[in-house]
Amino acid sequence: MRPLRAIGRGTIAIFAVIGRISVFAGTSLYHCVRPPFFPRLILRQMIEIGFYSLPVVGLTAIFTGMVLALQSFSGFGFAGEATIANVVVWGITRELGPVLAGLMVAGRIGAAMAAEIGTMRVTEQIDALTTLSTNPFKYLVAPRLIAAVAMLPLLVLVADVIGVLGGFIVSVYDFGFNPTTYLKSTWASLDAAGFVSGLVKAAVFGFLVALMGTYHGYHSKGGAQGVGQATTNAVVSASILLLLFNFIITALFFAT
């Protein structure tokens, strides 16, 4: 009976976590659409998430685009501009742009959110908000969710451009392709569905990263160790959920 009991206990625990996260997400979304709003806080979070993540997302994108071009060239043997451009554009806009940007932001922003809110929790700052008649969901969680959902698509847009540029640099300066022909092939390879799916993924990933960062921070306990644990949990859970939802969104857009 022991293994069955353990399986049962584990299953109940998993559903309890899913329930808690769902309630947290529902409450957060309610406060995202219900005034009062905090435009200063939303703007501050947008700068933190969007502007300060640009270097890490840009570097990731350019190297990924370059590697994609190199791998395509070596994998397909000699392939023309059209093939390489097609692989780079599809790879970057549909998958690697949103996924890698999402993972980078999960590491940078999700961890920071969990650490900041977790520290506020263990030092009673969140309790202080309540005693000052300020709802912590409205003041702490909603601005982060709104900012992340708004900024991730913009970051992915930038990542798409820089990633494609990386492929262009390798193709033109290493393989000696004609730049005009390569650019024409790149433009021809762009498809609306792939591009839009990438941006939809980015918005969903932004929501997931902010949700996990705020959820784990909000529920952290036990001092510095608890905050450290919350930070780890935020990054790991956001990364796993991000990959899961990447599959789901891809299936919704492209499964025949």
Residues of this chain that interact with other proteins (CB under 8 A) are: 116, 119-120, 123-125, 127-128, 130-135, 139
Q: How far apart are CA 113 and CA 116, in angstroms?
A: 5
Residue 70 burial class via C-beta count within 10 angstroms: exposed 0-12, middle 13-18, buried 19 and up: middle
DSSP of 4-65, one letter per residue? HHHHHHHHHHHHHHHHHHHHHHHHHHHHHHSSPP-HHHHHHHHIIIIITTHHHHHHHHHHHH
Please identify, using beta-carbon distances, which residue of 1 and 33 lies nearer to other proteins.
33
Residue number with CB closer to other proteins (22 or 130): 130
Q: State in angstroms the smallest separation of the CB of 152 from other proteins.
A: 23
- Count Cβ neighbours within 10 Å for each residue of 217-251 and write b for 16 or more, e otherwise: bbbbeeeeebbebbbebbbebbbebbeebbeebee
Conformation bin of residue 124: beta by default, left when phi > 0, alpha when psi is -120 to 50: left
Query: Between 33 and 251, whose beta carbon lies closer to other proteins?
Result: 33
Choose between 124 and 174: whose C-beta lies nearer to other proteins: 124
Minimal distance, residue 102 CB to other proteins, in Å:
25
For tokens 């093939």, the residue is: 83
What separation in angstroms does the CA of 237 have from each of 16, 119, 147?
15, 19, 20
Minimum CB separation of residue 181 from other proteins in Å reads 52
Question: Which residue, 37 or 90, has its beta carbon nearer to other proteins?
Answer: 37
Minimum distance from CB of 222 to other proteins (Å)?
A: 14
Q: Which is nearer to other proteins, 125 or 250 (CB)?
A: 125
For residue 26, the minimal CB distance to other proteins (Å) is 15
- Which residue, 73 or 137, is less far from other proteins as judged by CB? 137
- Closest listed residue to residue 216, CA positions, set 133, 78, 119: 119
Q: How far is the CB of 6 from other proteins (least distance, A)?
A: 20
CB of 22 to other proteins, least distance (A): 20
